[in-house]
Protein backbone atom coordinates (compact mmCIF):
# COMPACT_ATOMS: atom_id res chain seq x y z
CA UNK A 1 0.00 0.00 0.00
CA UNK A 2 1.63 3.23 -1.21
CA UNK A 3 -0.59 5.48 0.88
CA UNK A 4 -2.00 7.24 -2.20
CA UNK A 5 -5.76 6.71 -2.42
CA UNK A 6 -7.75 7.01 -5.61
CA UNK A 7 -11.49 6.86 -6.13
CA UNK A 8 -13.40 5.47 -7.87
CA UNK A 9 -11.51 2.32 -8.78
CA UNK A 10 -13.73 1.62 -11.77
CA UNK A 11 -16.00 3.88 -13.76
CA UNK A 12 -18.08 3.30 -16.86
CA UNK A 13 -19.65 6.24 -18.60
CA UNK A 14 -20.99 7.28 -21.97
CA UNK A 15 -19.39 9.43 -24.61
CA UNK A 16 -19.95 13.14 -24.10
CA UNK A 17 -20.23 12.82 -20.35
CA UNK A 18 -18.06 14.33 -17.62
CA UNK A 19 -16.37 12.51 -14.74
CA UNK A 20 -14.25 13.48 -11.76
CA UNK A 21 -11.44 11.32 -10.42
CA UNK A 22 -10.28 11.93 -6.89
CA UNK A 23 -6.88 11.47 -5.28
CA UNK A 24 -5.71 11.70 -1.68
CA UNK A 25 -1.93 11.94 -1.50
CA UNK A 26 0.21 10.30 1.14
CA UNK A 27 0.13 12.04 4.49
CA UNK A 28 2.56 14.96 4.39
CA UNK A 29 3.03 14.95 0.62
CA UNK A 30 2.51 18.33 -1.02
CA UNK A 31 3.08 17.44 -4.66
CA UNK A 32 0.52 15.54 -6.74
CA UNK A 33 0.95 14.15 -10.24
CA UNK A 34 -1.59 12.70 -12.65
CA UNK A 35 -0.77 10.11 -15.29
CA UNK A 36 -2.78 8.38 -17.98
CA UNK A 37 -2.09 4.85 -19.17
CA UNK A 38 -3.79 3.53 -22.25
CA UNK A 39 -2.96 0.36 -24.13
CA UNK A 40 -1.23 2.09 -27.01
CA UNK A 41 0.39 5.05 -25.24
CA UNK A 42 1.95 3.70 -22.10
CA UNK A 43 2.24 5.90 -19.03
CA UNK A 44 1.83 9.55 -19.97
CA UNK A 45 2.33 12.47 -17.60
CA UNK A 46 -0.67 14.79 -17.53
CA UNK A 47 -0.21 17.46 -14.89
CA UNK A 48 1.52 18.28 -11.60
CA UNK A 49 0.39 20.35 -8.62
CA UNK A 50 2.33 21.50 -5.62
CA UNK A 51 0.61 22.83 -2.52
CA UNK A 52 -2.40 23.93 -4.50
CA UNK A 53 -0.61 25.48 -7.43
CA UNK A 54 -0.17 24.05 -10.90
CA UNK A 55 3.48 23.31 -11.55
CA UNK A 56 3.68 21.68 -14.94
CA UNK A 57 1.56 20.32 -17.74
CA UNK A 58 2.29 17.34 -19.86
CA UNK A 59 0.10 15.73 -22.49
CA UNK A 60 -3.17 16.90 -20.99
CA UNK A 61 -6.06 17.62 -23.31
CA UNK A 62 -7.98 20.88 -23.05
CA UNK A 63 -11.07 18.85 -22.18
CA UNK A 64 -9.27 17.74 -19.03
CA UNK A 65 -8.56 19.86 -15.99
CA UNK A 66 -7.31 19.34 -12.48
CA UNK A 67 -7.02 21.11 -9.19
CA UNK A 68 -5.48 20.60 -5.79
CA UNK A 69 -7.47 21.71 -2.78
CA UNK A 70 -6.28 23.26 0.51
CA UNK A 71 -6.45 19.86 2.19
CA UNK A 72 -4.07 18.69 -0.60
CA UNK A 73 -6.41 16.21 -2.21
CA UNK A 74 -6.66 16.55 -5.96
CA UNK A 75 -9.32 16.02 -8.57
CA UNK A 76 -8.96 15.33 -12.28
CA UNK A 77 -11.95 16.40 -14.32
CA UNK A 78 -12.53 14.79 -17.69
CA UNK A 79 -15.25 16.26 -19.89
CA UNK A 80 -16.80 15.65 -23.31
CA UNK A 81 -15.51 12.12 -23.01
CA UNK A 82 -14.55 10.16 -26.09
CA UNK A 83 -13.96 6.46 -26.58
CA UNK A 84 -10.23 7.13 -26.73
CA UNK A 85 -10.25 8.49 -23.20
CA UNK A 86 -10.76 4.99 -21.88
CA UNK A 87 -7.66 4.34 -19.81
CA UNK A 88 -6.17 3.86 -16.38
CA UNK A 89 -5.61 7.16 -14.61
CA UNK A 90 -2.97 7.20 -11.89
CA UNK A 91 -2.35 9.73 -9.21
CA UNK A 92 1.02 9.96 -7.52
CA UNK A 93 2.48 12.08 -4.77
CA UNK A 94 5.80 13.14 -3.29
CA UNK A 95 6.92 15.21 -0.35
CA UNK A 96 8.24 18.21 -2.21
CA UNK A 97 8.52 19.50 -5.68
CA UNK A 98 11.75 19.97 -7.45
CA UNK A 99 13.91 17.45 -5.63
CA UNK A 100 14.76 14.39 -7.64
CA UNK A 101 15.75 12.46 -4.57
CA UNK A 102 12.22 12.53 -3.23
CA UNK A 103 10.43 9.37 -4.24
CA UNK A 104 7.13 9.54 -6.08
CA UNK A 105 4.52 7.03 -4.95
CA UNK A 106 1.61 5.90 -7.09
CA UNK A 107 -1.94 4.99 -6.27
CA UNK A 108 -3.71 1.95 -7.68
CA UNK A 109 -5.45 3.91 -10.38
CA UNK A 110 -8.94 4.58 -11.62
CA UNK A 111 -10.16 2.50 -14.55
CA UNK A 112 -12.26 4.63 -16.88
CA UNK A 113 -14.26 2.98 -19.61
CA UNK A 114 -16.10 5.21 -22.06
CA UNK A 115 -18.83 3.45 -24.05
CA UNK B 1 15.64 14.47 -19.26
CA UNK B 2 18.03 11.84 -20.51
CA UNK B 3 16.53 8.83 -22.20
CA UNK B 4 17.02 5.22 -21.23
CA UNK B 5 17.32 2.04 -23.23
CA UNK B 6 16.11 -1.27 -21.86
CA UNK B 7 15.61 -4.68 -23.44
CA UNK B 8 11.92 -5.22 -24.19
CA UNK B 9 11.76 -8.55 -22.41
CA UNK B 10 13.76 -10.95 -20.28
CA UNK B 11 13.25 -14.35 -18.71
CA UNK B 12 14.62 -15.56 -15.40
CA UNK B 13 14.23 -18.81 -13.50
CA UNK B 14 12.48 -18.69 -10.16
CA UNK B 15 14.97 -18.53 -7.29
CA UNK B 16 17.75 -17.12 -9.44
CA UNK B 17 18.97 -13.54 -9.50
CA UNK B 18 17.33 -11.36 -12.11
CA UNK B 19 19.67 -8.76 -13.59
CA UNK B 20 17.94 -6.02 -15.55
CA UNK B 21 20.20 -3.71 -17.56
CA UNK B 22 19.59 -0.09 -18.47
CA UNK B 23 21.61 2.25 -20.64
CA UNK B 24 21.47 5.98 -19.98
CA UNK B 25 24.49 7.21 -21.86
CA UNK B 26 23.37 10.86 -21.95
CA UNK B 27 22.68 11.13 -18.22
CA UNK B 28 23.69 14.39 -16.59
CA UNK B 29 25.58 14.71 -13.37
CA UNK B 30 22.50 15.93 -11.53
CA UNK B 31 20.16 13.16 -12.64
CA UNK B 32 19.07 10.23 -10.51
CA UNK B 33 18.44 6.71 -11.78
CA UNK B 34 15.07 5.37 -10.63
CA UNK B 35 13.55 1.94 -10.99
CA UNK B 36 9.85 1.21 -10.84
CA UNK B 37 7.86 -1.85 -11.72
CA UNK B 38 4.28 -2.35 -12.74
CA UNK B 39 2.50 -5.60 -12.15
CA UNK B 40 -0.32 -5.96 -14.64
CA UNK B 41 -2.57 -2.87 -14.47
CA UNK B 42 -1.55 -2.06 -10.90
CA UNK B 43 0.03 1.25 -9.92
CA UNK B 44 3.75 1.59 -10.61
CA UNK B 45 5.69 0.47 -7.58
CA UNK B 46 8.87 2.22 -6.48
CA UNK B 47 11.84 -0.13 -6.18
CA UNK B 48 15.03 1.84 -5.69
CA UNK B 49 16.97 4.87 -6.84
CA UNK B 50 20.52 6.15 -6.84
CA UNK B 51 22.70 9.02 -7.96
CA UNK B 52 26.29 7.79 -8.05
CA UNK B 53 26.77 5.03 -5.53
CA UNK B 54 25.39 1.53 -5.57
CA UNK B 55 22.28 1.13 -3.47
CA UNK B 56 20.54 -1.77 -1.77
CA UNK B 57 17.21 -2.09 -0.03
CA UNK B 58 14.89 -4.91 0.95
CA UNK B 59 13.64 -5.32 -2.60
CA UNK B 60 16.68 -5.00 -4.82
CA UNK B 61 20.17 -3.72 -5.48
CA UNK B 62 21.12 -1.02 -7.94
CA UNK B 63 24.55 -1.08 -9.52
CA UNK B 64 25.58 2.11 -11.34
CA UNK B 65 28.71 2.09 -13.46
CA UNK B 66 31.44 4.53 -12.58
CA UNK B 67 30.79 6.64 -15.67
CA UNK B 68 27.04 6.53 -14.82
CA UNK B 69 26.16 5.61 -18.38
CA UNK B 70 24.48 2.38 -17.43
CA UNK B 71 23.02 0.58 -14.46
CA UNK B 72 21.73 -2.83 -13.45
CA UNK B 73 18.83 -3.65 -11.20
CA UNK B 74 19.31 -6.91 -9.34
CA UNK B 75 16.48 -8.89 -7.80
CA UNK B 76 18.49 -11.38 -5.74
CA UNK B 77 16.02 -14.27 -5.54
CA UNK B 78 13.29 -13.84 -8.11
CA UNK B 79 9.83 -15.22 -7.41
CA UNK B 80 6.81 -15.60 -9.67
CA UNK B 81 5.40 -12.44 -8.11
CA UNK B 82 8.30 -10.48 -9.57
CA UNK B 83 6.88 -10.92 -13.06
CA UNK B 84 6.21 -7.34 -14.15
CA UNK B 85 7.29 -4.52 -16.43
CA UNK B 86 10.36 -2.82 -14.99
CA UNK B 87 11.03 0.80 -15.81
CA UNK B 88 14.42 2.49 -15.61
CA UNK B 89 14.01 6.27 -15.44
CA UNK B 90 16.42 9.15 -15.10
CA UNK B 91 15.15 12.13 -13.18
CA UNK B 92 16.66 15.53 -12.67
CA UNK B 93 17.81 16.14 -9.13
CA UNK B 94 16.59 19.71 -8.81
CA UNK B 95 13.89 21.66 -10.57
CA UNK B 96 13.49 25.19 -9.41
CA UNK B 97 10.09 26.66 -8.70
CA UNK B 98 8.25 27.16 -11.94
CA UNK B 99 10.96 25.36 -13.83
CA UNK B 100 8.79 22.54 -15.02
CA UNK B 101 7.79 19.09 -14.00
CA UNK B 102 10.03 17.09 -11.74
CA UNK B 103 8.12 13.92 -12.31
CA UNK B 104 8.92 10.68 -14.06
CA UNK B 105 9.00 10.02 -17.78
CA UNK B 106 8.22 6.39 -18.46
CA UNK B 107 9.52 4.50 -21.46
CA UNK B 108 8.42 1.03 -22.52
CA UNK B 109 10.43 -0.79 -19.85
CA UNK B 110 11.48 -4.44 -19.69
CA UNK B 111 8.89 -7.15 -19.33
CA UNK B 112 10.49 -9.57 -16.88
CA UNK B 113 8.98 -13.03 -16.86
CA UNK B 114 9.92 -15.34 -14.00
CA UNK B 115 9.72 -18.96 -15.07
CA UNK B 116 8.81 -21.68 -12.54
**pLDDT tens for each residue of B47-98:** 999 999 899 999 999 999 999 999 999 999 999 999 999 999 988 765 555 5
Share of chain A above pLDDT 90, in %: 77
Q: Is the pLDDT of residue A101 over 80?
A: no
- B10: exposed, middle or buried (C-beta count within 10 Å: 0-12, 13-18, 19+)? middle
| Total number of residues shown for chain A | 115
- A53–chain B nearest CA distance, Å: 10
Average pLDDT estimate for A75-91: 97
B103 at interface of A, judged by CB pairs closer than 8 A: yes
pLDDT bucket at A39, cuts 50 / 70 / 90? confident
- Contact list, B4 vs chain A (CB under 8 Å): none
Sheet holding A19-24, edge to edge: A5-7, A19-24, A74-78, A64-68
Confidence (pLDDT) at B30: 83
> Which of B44, B48, B111 to mutate: most A Cβ within 10 Å?
B44
Confidence (pLDDT) at B55: 96
Confidence (pLDDT) at A58: 87
- Contact list, B105 vs chain A (CB under 8 Å): 45
pLDDT bucket at A108, cuts 50 / 70 / 90? very high
More confident residue, A97 or B108: B108
pLDDT bucket at B31, cuts 50 / 70 / 90? confident
CB atoms within 10 A of CB B61: 17
- B104–chain A nearest CA distance, Å: 8
Q: Is the pLDDT of residue A15 over 80?
A: yes
Q: Is the pLDDT of residue B104 over 60?
A: yes
Please check whether residue B45 is in contact with residue B37, taking contact to mean a CB–CB distance below 8 angstroms: yes
- Contact list, A104 vs chain B (CB under 8 Å): 46, 103-104
CA distances from B17 to B44, B60, B74 (A): 21, 10, 7
| Total number of residues shown for chain B | 116
B7 half-sphere exposure, CB direction, 13 A CA radius: 11
The number of helix segments (H) and strand segments (E) in chain A equals: 0, 11
* B43 with A45: Cβ contact below 8 A: no
Q: Is the pLDDT of residue A106 over 60?
A: yes
Q: How many whole angstroms separate alpha carbon B39 and alpha carbon B49?
A: 19
CA distances from A52 to A70, A74, A98, B11, B45 (A): 6, 9, 15, 44, 25
In eight-state DSSP terms, residue B41 is: T
> Which of these ranges, A49-58, A98-107, B86-95, B97-106, has the smallest mean pLDDT?
B97-106
Q: Is the pLDDT of residue A111 over 70?
A: yes
- Contact list, A3 vs chain B (CB under 8 Å): none
Amino acid sequence: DSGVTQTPKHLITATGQRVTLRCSPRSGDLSVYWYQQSLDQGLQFLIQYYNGEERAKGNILERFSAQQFPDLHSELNLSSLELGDSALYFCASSVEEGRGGNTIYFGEGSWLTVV
Amino acid sequence: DAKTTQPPSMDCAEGRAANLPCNHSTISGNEYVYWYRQIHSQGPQYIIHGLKNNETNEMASLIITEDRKSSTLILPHATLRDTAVYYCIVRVAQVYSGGGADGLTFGKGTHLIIQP
